[in-house]
Structures are given as C-alpha cells and as structure tokens.
Amino acid sequence: MKKQPVPQWDSSMTAAEAARQVLPVLAAEYFAAGRKTFRKKADLETLHAFRIRTKRFRYTLELFQPIYGPGLSSRLEQLRKVQQYLGDINDCVITERLVRSAAGDGAPAELLEALAARARQRRRKLIEFWRETFDAPGAERSWVSYLRSWAGRAARPPASSRQAHPAAATAQE
C-alpha cells in the first residue's frame, strides 16, 4: 500500500470524525512497518523499534476505544500479543547482556544458550503470529476499513431504536 501522509488533526471535527480520518492511515503505516520488519531477519534494534511502534499504535487506539466500542477489543488483543512476543525477545537479550556483564568470561554457558534459545523460539512464534494475523490476506484492508467506518457507531443507538422513538429523534435534531 502506498504511504499516505497522516492527516492533520482538525479541531473543528468531532473525535469520531478525526478518528475516521487519522487512524486508518496510522494502521496502514503500522502494517507497512511490520511487513518491512518481518520481510527479512530483523536485527535487535529493528525489533525494538517495532516494539515501540506497536506500543504507541496500541495506546493510540486505546484512547479511542469508547468511540469504537467493544469491536476494537480483539484488534487491541492482537497488538498486545505482538508486544508480548517482542517484549519477551527484548527481555532475553537484556538478561543475556546483564549476565555477561556481571560474570564476564565466567558466564554460565548453559544459561546463555537457554536465553538465546528462548529468544529464537519467541522470534519464530512472533513471525508465525504476524504472518497468520497481520499478513493474512485482507488483514490490513479489514483494519483500515474498520477504523474508517466504525468510529462513533458505538455511541449511537441502532437505527431501529431511533425510529421506534420519534420523540427522541426530534429532541436530537
């Protein structure tokens, strides 16, 4: 997908209108960054940068959860899972560095190998999860479409209940 500039937040818009305009672009950028990260074996700095990007994207979406309602929950859970895998990998790397720093040449080889093996295993699981969830056919289109079309619907009553109570509809006008 071609990179689009993130629209500027227009203070004259409602939060739902702004979310429909801005969040789909952020989602497309997130998917592009993920594809780039997982296209080849990413180094640790790249994985860490993607972890931060995932966290920021998730936190941004969480701010808008009241506008989207419970439908956003499954998408947020997918982002949490990506964050968890990335965090586990980072923890293994940091722990290995701490052990090497503290023990120097006397670092227990079995511990270092166990940490490296866990990091490799978590990386494999992450890539598998990414490919099945985010890189699946239509996944990006589904996210973008959802973020573009569902903002604000959680707060509105269904059309059938608005029609059933004409006095309420008149009061809203």
Both structure tokens of 88: 């586990």
Tell me how far apart the alpha carbons of residues 140 and 112 are, in angstroms, rounded to a whole number: 38
State the pLDDT at residue 5.
67
State the pLDDT at residue 169.
40
Q: What is the pTM of this model?
A: 0.81
Regions of the chain with pLDDT less than 70 = 1-7, 154-173
Q: What phi, psi does 156 have (nearest 5°)?
A: -90, 140
State the pLDDT at residue 161.
45
Q: Given its phi and psi angles, is residue 104 left (phi above 0), alpha (psi -120 to 50 degrees) or beta?
A: left
* pLDDT tens-digit map of 67-90: 998 889 999 999 999 999 999 999
State the pLDDT at residue 147.
96
State the pLDDT at residue 171.
38
Sign of CA dihedral 100, 122, 34, 50: negative
Query: Burial of 107 by CB count in 10 Å (0-12 exposed, 13-18 middle, 19+ buried)?
Result: middle
State the pLDDT at residue 2.
53
State the pLDDT at residue 153.
77
